Amino acid sequence: MFEGKDYIEPEDLDKLQELMERVGESEERIEKILKVAAADPETYNDLMEVYSRKASQVATKDEFYPYEELVGEIEIGEDPEGRKLAVTREQLNEHLLAVSMTGKGKTTFFYNLIDTLKEKGLPFMIFDFKNDYRHLIKKHEDLLILNWRDIRFNPLKPPPEVSPGKWGEILADTFCHATDLLIGSESYFLEKLNELYEIYDVNKTEKYPSVFELKDLVEKDPIPPASPRFKYRERNQSRLSMFTGFSGDIFDCSSGIDLEKLLERNVVFELKEPNQYVTNFFVETVLTWIYYYRDAMGERQKLRHVIMFDEAKRVFDVMRERQPEAGWPPVDDIVGKVREFGEALAVADHEPSKLTDSIKANTTVKIWMSLGSGKDIEEMARTFGLEEEEEIDYTRTMEKGNALLKIADMEPVPIFLPDYQIEKDMTESEIREKMRQEIQKFEWEERYRPEEFLERIGREKEEEEWKISEDAEKLLVHIKDNPLLKTSERYEKLGFDTKKGGSAKKELVEESLIREVEVRTGTRGRNPKLFELTKEGRNYLKAIGEEVREHVKGGAEHLWWQKKIQSHYGERGYDSFIEHYIGRKSIDVYSVKEDEEIATEIALTPEHELENIKKCLERDFDLIQIVYNSEKVKEKIKEEIEGERGEMPEEILFSHVSEFT
């Protein structure tokens, strides 16, 4: 029972206001009632009696009650009282961050956001590292899904109205941060890029060189090994070789697909397969291109376009901010600037503690879904400004579809996010075929090599007209037919002495027809070294009439371990097979003895292994063995498996490569 008051103090009115807010009275009504109550203690006592009784009948609210009213055009979900929660275009333009553990709603949230953006006529671009967004083509037929094999982009060609000199400096900074190179390597990269621009006379022509020509120019730079600059050349050459290898088709052009036109479309870039250096460089360069294009066009305006990243730490990695010797990551600088041109970023990840401080500080809209790691919960509590333990505990109870929404300096609001039903059964071949005619509408130009460039790198004719020495050609064919032989054994079989073999090898390396690969065994002593065909080497062999496999899975090192594992199980009485197919997909090594079946997957990098393991789990093998060469790779794969399935399946066994040497 409420005890009456003989006189009214300000804190008494505060108590009455709190009760009225709890039962949901409007601001206008609260203001009127408080005026009446302040004038007469008896009226105040009666009102306190009424509202105390009403408040006791209202269900207990959570720690964030009363809830902020969030009104805007971009709907997000509902608060616990069923009111719609939305953000304004201006708030979205100041970037959005969504975090949750795997399987708790990040991608579902993005699916719903995409629907809303389409309704509002806002075009978007998605960098898809998991191939999750191709399935939306069933609902949105105007989506342009660009699998990495169909992308053509020349990062050396600047945006319109941006000079090659300025773009070269920007690109050098982006390249070196994306590939973990320091200032000395950056200076060397810029020097060779400017030299290449000069050879092509890019200020007078629209024909631009590509990373392929830049790699050739770097390889031909006659720097003696004793020079301090030699290490800069080697590091740049190593990184550029990754850009011209398996994933090199992305950059294999003089002029790529028109990004200006893509900014007017709803586009998905599928980037699951390329290695991380290629992916990071592509994403960061495209983002940088967009910013400098908007700047050059003077296109400052309100929200016009949204760029979306799922698994964003691949680009916004906090460790890159914590390497002062590398300088401030240029992509972080872009995050803070691009909003003034109407470009919004929507980023999502399951490990917010590994995201850059810049992306967390520069996102006005933040959505916190269920997180598993205490470190990630602690990081988001800091980001949201939560200090009360009850508020933090609330986030630990959130299920899929529940979240906490915070906008700028407003108080956090619990939110219910809608579900999204869609079958994820669209294959790569199906989506590429569906997109084929649409992609053909976009023009791109093949690489161009002027005579001055060919002379500079010591080639008088185009690649298809090359002719190497007879010894080098014999060695090249032998490497194709016998990829795992030791160098001495190979020379012996060819009848070469060390000098003759070394001369032929040097010629092939200089012509970029082969590369030397070191097999990382994880044991003491010297690691084996193998020769591996490059893309140019395979093309040369095809030109002289040799049959060449288009793609050897994993390369020479991968094949070396396949043979070792096959031999290991063969010695133990198993029938063992390399590249054993299950439907359309193959297992690295399949071993069987009586009723026991073992599937072995070789994980030299963490990329794509989760899909490989899932296909093995579907087949119900007795043992699924994951062979790894570094603890970092092992831990990454374990994290992905446990994130996908909740726990580690008992049939999975991790084995270090050293067990097979």
Cα angle: 372, vertex 373, 379; to 5 degrees: 120
- Tell me how far apart the alpha carbons of residues 578 and 559 are, in angstroms, rounded to a whole number: 9
Token readout for 288 is 């940088």
pLDDT tens profile 208-232? 999 999 999 999 999 988 898 999 9
Strand extents, DSSP E, 162-230: none
Q: By C-alpha distance, which of 381, 382, 404, 379 is closest to 392?
A: 381
- pTM exceeding the 0.85 threshold for the entire prediction: no
> Under CATH, which number does the domain 555-660 receive?
3.40.1350.10
- What is the spatial distance between Cα 219 and Cα 463, in angstroms, rounded to a whole number? 16
Cβ-contact 51, 14 below 8 angstroms: no
404 is written with which tokens?
Answer: 């906490």
Within the chain, which residues score under 50 in pLDDT? Answer: 1-2, 59, 460-464, 551
Contact 86, 70 (CB under 8 A): yes
> How far is Cα 422 from Cα 91, in angstroms, rounded to an integer?
29
CB 269 within 8 A of CB 146: yes
Strand partners, 85: 77
Nearest CA-CA partner of 478 in 488, 463, 493? 493
Contact 259, 267 (CB under 8 A): no
Class level of CATH domain 462-543? mainly alpha
492 DSSP assignment = H
Which pLDDT score is estimated for 64?
87
| β-sheet with 144-147: strand ranges across | 84-87, 74-78, 413-416, 402-407, 365-368, 96-99, 343-349, 305-310, 124-128, 267-270, 144-147
Contact 62, 394 (CB under 8 A): yes
With a CB cutoff of 8 Å and minimum separation 6, the contacts of 501 are 475, 487, 490, 491, 494
* Interval 70-88: pLDDT, tens: 999 999 999 988 889 999 9
Residues 6 or more apart whose Cβ sits within 8 Å of residue 21? 30, 66
* Order of strands across the sheet that contains 652-656: 575-582, 585-593, 596-603, 623-628, 652-656
pLDDT at 56: 58
Give the SS3 label for residue 144. strand
486, 528 Cβ separation under 8 angstroms = yes
